[in-house]
Structure 1
Amino acid sequence: MKVKIDPGRCQGHGRCYDLAPSLFGEDEEGYGKVVGDGVVPPGEEQPARLAVSNCPERAIEIL
């Protein structure tokens, strides 16, 4: 499982990095970014799905 953020859709609400800080961070302008290569480690699947479902812009995708 991998996660990806569409930077064109992200509006910087920050829910992704609040809900799954091991998977997402913020860039210098406060927009969400994927930490590392986007691979979701074992045990982090639920926070990844929670971040996806809570993104108001639907900018996060699970691959």
Structure 2
Amino acid sequence: MRIKLDRTLCDGFMRCAEHAPEIFSLDDWGYASLTSDGTIEPADEDKVRRALLDCPAHAIIELRSVPE
């Protein structure tokens, strides 16, 4: 799984860091950033998917690979 965080959409609700704090870090104002390049290990996919679904601003986007 790969994700992207659109920081221009983030409104600082902090729900992503509640669900997956090892993937999302928060700045002093509560706005999120990714702690990695967006590649999510299988063990963390459920937490990240929950964060994606729970984000009121829809700032977390799952990147789907294009079949060759």
After alignment, is 34-43 or 48-57 more displaced? 34-43
Could you report, residue by residue, the CA deviation over 1:15-63 in whole angstroms, capped at 9, with x for unpaired residues? 0011111111112432011111111012111011100000001110111
Alpha-carbon distance between aligned partners in 1 of 2:2 and 2:60, rounded to the nearest angstrom? 10
Choose 1 or 2 for highest CA Rg: 2
Identity score, percent: 38
Aligned to 2:43, what secondary structure does the other structure show?
coil
Moved over 3 A (4+): none
Structure 1 unmatched ranges of 5 or more: none
What is the number of residues matched between the two proteins? 63
* Root-mean-square deviation (Å): 1.0
Structure-1-length-normalised TM-score: 0.89
Structure 2 unmatched ranges of 5 or more: 64-68
